[in-house]
Amino acid sequence: MAIRSTVRILFEQDGTIVDTTNAMLYTNPSPPGPDVVTQVNIDASWTDPVFDSVASLYNAVSGALNLAAGDFVGAGLDANELRQSISDLRNDLADKSKLQTATLDISYPHPLFNTIHIIFTADDPDDELLGVHAVPPPNPPLFQYGANSEPGAHARRAEYIVNLDHLRQRVGDSGFFSEPFELHPFSFAFSVREDATITTLSVFHTLALHFFRQQEVRPWCQTDIAWLTDPVDDPNSDTILHPDTIVDQQHLMTYSPAVDSVTPEVGTPFQEADIDLVQDQNGNFTVNGRQYKLIFLNFTVASRRRLDPTLPPIRVFTNVLVPEAGSADKLRPMVVQPKPSPGESGGQMYLSGGVGSATLIFSPHDVARGITRIVFFAVQDLNVWATEQAVVFTLPLTVGHVIGDLVKGSGGGGLL
């Protein structure tokens, strides 16, 4: 009795998948492969501290979807069909439901892609899953929808293929492009529930897409993690993140600051992700039951906005806090500061804020027993925006000991 589910997004050019390691592609670069934007796992022990009643969850679902309904109707979708698909999705949620939302700001048009492929997958090893409910309803050639619907399945998959040129043509530039003072979200949602008789579980995902001209995309910061095997000796690969080395990978945190009095923030300025370092009975480190040897941690900050000469440049800092008996010698991230870089929008060249990063590749054996905190900071001006994203690694102590507070710092120093 447990559901594992993800929503992934692929970028394609006429059916050919684009490598998302290209940092200029869109606002949330990640390790290679299909990009996980939301991930929801739920079992019978789940209790929701926010949506503590079915009614409050329904209200959140309806609010998230109704925000985008007007944009889809403007694209030519039938309002009644859209309203019915929202109702079906909402009414299919179980008493125990887990919700996750994500927002992506995408710069367009782009020479590398013209299609977005959104893929939802869910599996339950114990109970069968009912059919997927999704919003919006299919509307080819604007976007196509497909799902497996055979009864008795323990795994479900549903996907949208969105032709961005068709969507832009249908709604016009004023309805397609978001601006700092007027956002036009296009939201996609998926839900699935168990076919169970005692305790029924369900999951719900929403993904809102904002399309910006490049010079108007909001800055963003993101932390990703990948668990790796031994590096592959591949002369054609310029990265340790060769597909054959990746055991698992995950987005941890995303933040996009408000850059004016109207544009809302995505996420919060202070974020934290907890990672347990798990060892099997032989002392091997594992993630989801699979052995790994290295951890790749990456913090990225990027601004595609037109450079504002009245503001200071964006800067990246790091800090590492380790237990009393630990050492930070092998846990210092390599920092690359953002530099102004050329951008292009509508045939016009301009200078943007650029891309910066802080990257760390380390062995879990380099982490002391207890709690180790690796902190990333990005700041443009404390009066404009700043953010902190911390990854907390926990390696259990021997039986009978208590994990104490962090006491030693090493790195670039804290700002916030």
3-state SS string for 95-127: CEEEEEEEEEEEECCECCECEEEEEEEEECCCC
Domain identity same for 96 and 175: yes
**Are residues 260 and 177 part of one domain?**
no
The residue among 184, 212, 240 that closes a domain is 212
- pLDDT, residue 186, reads 86
Q: Chain-centre distance of CA 177, in angstroms?
A: 21
Q: State whether 27 and 53 are in the same domain.
A: yes
Is 394 in contact with 314 (CB distance < 8 Å)? Answer: no
Statement to judge: residues 227 and 163 lie in one domain: no
Residue 185 sits in the same domain as residue 275: no
Alpha carbon distance 170, 176 (integer Å): 9
Let me know if residue 198 belongs to a domain. yes
Q: Does one domain contain both 339 and 230?
A: yes
Within 10 angstroms of residue 309's Cβ, the number of other Cβ atoms is 7
In a domain, 112, yes or no: yes
Q: Are residues 253 and 129 in the same domain?
A: no
What pLDDT, in 10s, does the model give residues 8-64? Answer: 888 888 888 876 544 344 444 333 344 778 888 888 776 654 444 445 555 555 555
Could you give the count of Cα atoms lying within 13 Å of 377 in the half-sphere of its Cβ?
Answer: 16
Is 32 a member of any domain?
Answer: yes
Residues 98 and 46: beta-carbon distance below 8 Å: yes
pLDDT tens for the chain, 416 residues: list them: 789 999 988 888 888 887 654 434 444 433 334 477 888 888 877 665 444 444 555 555 555 555 555 566 666 677 677 778 777 877 778 878 888 877 777 878 877 789 999 999 999 988 889 989 888 887 766 778 888 878 878 999 999 999 999 889 888 888 888 875 577 888 888 999 998 777 788 998 888 888 877 666 678 888 989 898 875 454 444 445 556 678 888 888 888 886 655 455 666 788 999 999 988 888 889 998 889 999 999 998 888 777 888 888 899 999 999 998 788 888 989 998 988 877 766 667 778 888 888 999 999 999 998 999 999 999 987 777 888 999 999 988 653 333 443 333 444 433 33
Residue 416 lies in a domain: no
Rounded-to-integer distance, Cα 414 and Cα 416, Å: 6
Task: Let me know how long the chain is.
Answer: 416
Q: Are residues 172 and 147 in the same domain?
A: yes
Q: Which residue has the tokens 């939802």?
A: 120
Distance CA 381, CA 338 (A): 14
Last residue of a domain, one of 212, 234, 264: 212
Rounded to whole angstroms, the Cα distance separating 44 from 175 reads: 42
pLDDT tens digit sequence for 261-280: 545 566 678 899 999 998 88
Specify whether 198 is located in the same domain as 283: no
Which residues constitute the domain of residue 310?
Answer: 218-411
The Cα 361–Cα 201 span in angstroms is 37
Q: Are residues 339 and 367 in the same domain?
A: yes
Domain assignment present for 97:
yes
Task: Tell me whether residue 96 is in a domain.
Answer: yes
Q: Are 229 and 236 in contact (CB under 8 A)?
A: no
Residue 186 CA to residue 115 CA, distance in Å, equals 14
Last residue of a domain, one of 176, 192, 212: 212
User: How many domains in the chain?
Assistant: 2
42 shares its domain with 82: yes
Quick check: helix, strand or coil at residue 24? coil
Confirm whether 380 is domain-assigned: yes
Same domain for 106 and 15, yes or no, is yes
Is residue 131 one of the residues assigned to a domain?
A: yes
Return d(Cα 243, Cα 245) in angstroms, integer. 5
This prediction has a pTM of 0.59
Half-sphere exposure of residue 169: CA atoms within 13 angstroms, side-chain side: 9
Q: Please tell me whether residue 310 adopts helix, strand or coil conformation.
A: coil
